[in-house]
Chains A and B, each alone.
Chain A
Amino acid sequence: MTKKINKTVIILWICVILVLLAASFFVAPPDRSGESIKEQMRDAVLHDVNKINFLGIKDVNPAFISAVVVTSFLLLAGVCIRLFVIPKFQIIPSKFQLLLEQLVGFFASFAKEKSPHRYRFLSAYIFGAGMYIFFGTLFELFGIQAVTVNGRSIALPAPLADINGAIALGCLSYLIVLFGGFFGNGFKGVGSALKDFTMPLSMSFRLFGALLSGVLVTELLYHYISLSFGLPVVAGVLFTLLHALVQTYVLIMLTATSYGEASHKKERK
């Protein structure tokens, strides 16, 4: 009985795929009178054309709207978990509790490992940054649409695909390292952190470059309708998942290592 149902589901699924494939060849080609691929890619890098009005206050880059959406979603999820899940925590954890504990435990132990003498604030910071980068990067997969001030419809990009977002996070991480050095080691700590003055630049542009490459590849794939069938599953979803994980790990690792070095008390010889 179950085998029969499975077969029916598979046949239906194949039929849907075939219909979509056929439809993709019969539909009208994309409107080339709009933005060319060159313009789209330029806008994906610079965000200087397609701006979105933020609550009637200011025209902002779409990535900032993405950042606000991601923040709202994460905070809403956090409130729900805090109200409905955490009060029901048990000594022997359920699957979801285990997932949450693993997540928090990973960031806490990572901070403790990289900066064993001073890690409480660092663990909270890398938890926030890690969640923001990971979910912010995955956000581009949903392709949530927004209307620009020019009246065009665009898919909201990842928050860190905007250079301003990447600079904000890179510089904040560097500031955290500086403060860690100051609180852990006084002005000597600040001095040792200042020696790595290229760090905010490298952090910012690494994030921006990594996220941007994903956006550009996705833009390219979706611009040509023949490429937008099947291929995005691998190139879009899997690559996005992969670089969400990699970028999260890279930023928290760099921040935690630098923080640990700057705040470590040096013994006088």
Chain B
Amino acid sequence: MNIPLNIDFQQILLHLFNFSILSFGLYLLLFKPVQSFMEKREHTYLDMHHKAETELKEAEELKAAYEKHLETVEAEVEEYKKKAMEEAEREADELLQSTKQQAAQIIMEAKKAAQKEREKILESAQKEIASMVMDAAEKLLSSSTSEALDRFLYSVKKE
């Protein structure tokens, strides 16, 4: 059968065969790798976008929580301040009290020590005087007459 325009089914099939190889080859070599790269990049950017959105949401929630906390924080600060003042006053009172006690004790101990010292000095003075008197008497006895001794003894007796 003579088909017009030189149409040849065998050559049509050859063209189809050729085109199938080309389109499949181009799909595997170019279209698929380039498209998968583009999709991968798109996913990367989408992931980054989602991550940024999540982080932004978290930050906003945190901000809201802080703002809420900030509203109550002044009252808390006042309370803490009051507590601290009370604590400080109490500690100061305690310190003053203990200092007073210590001072009283120190004074008392000082008085006791002074008393002891006085007694000690008096005792030593008496001993010294007695010794001096004895020395003097010995000297007088050895050098003076009996009259003088009598006078002296008389004076001592008077004292």
Could you tell me which A residues sit within 8 Å of B by CB distance?
45-48, 58, 60-61, 64, 67-68, 70-71, 74-75, 78-79, 81-82, 86, 89, 91, 100-101, 103-105, 107-108, 123-125, 127-129, 131-132, 159, 162-165, 167-169, 171-172
Contacts and interface: CB of A to CB of B under 8 A. Distances in A.
A78 B22 CA distance: 10
Given A61-B11, A78-B25, A163 B6 contact: yes
A132 B29 contact: no
Interface SS, A side: helix
Interface stretch (B36-44, B63-71, B77-85, B119-127): B36-44
B33 A128 contact: no
A125 B24 CA distance: 9
B26 A60 contact: no
Interface in B1-52: 5-8, 10-16, 18-19, 21-27, 29-35, 37-38, 41, 44
A163 B26 contact: no
Nearest to B39: A108
A91 B8 contact: no
For chain B, give the interface size range. Answer: 20 to 34
A167 B26 CA distance: 21
A169 B23 CA distance: 11
Given A64-B18, A100-B34, A101-B38, A127 B10 contact: no
B25 to A, nearest CB: 5
A215 B30 CA distance: 30
13 contacts: A48-B6, A58-B10, A74-B25, A78-B26, A82-B30, A89-B34, A104-B30, A127-B31, A131-B26, A163-B6, A164-B6, A164-B11, A167-B12
Nearest to A87: B33
B12 A164 contact: yes
B4 to A, nearest CB: 9
A210 to B, nearest CB: 16
A167 B7 contact: yes
B22 A75 contact: yes
Interface string B122-145: 000000000000000000000000
Given A46-B5, A104-B35, A163-B7, A128 B22 contact: yes
A165 B15 CA distance: 6
A168 B11 CA distance: 9
Contact of B16 (A75, A81, A172): A172
A111 to B, nearest CB: 11
A104 B5 contact: no
Given A46-B6, A100-B30, A75 B23 contact: no
Contacts of A108: 35
A58 to B, nearest CB: 7
Tell which of B6, B14, B22, B38 has the most Cβ of chain A within 10 Å.
B22
Given A101-B38, A128-B26, A168-B19, A82 B14 contact: no
Contact of B15 (A75, A91, A105, A168): A168
Nearest to B34: A104
A82 B34 CA distance: 9
Contacts of A128: 19, 22-24, 26-27, 31
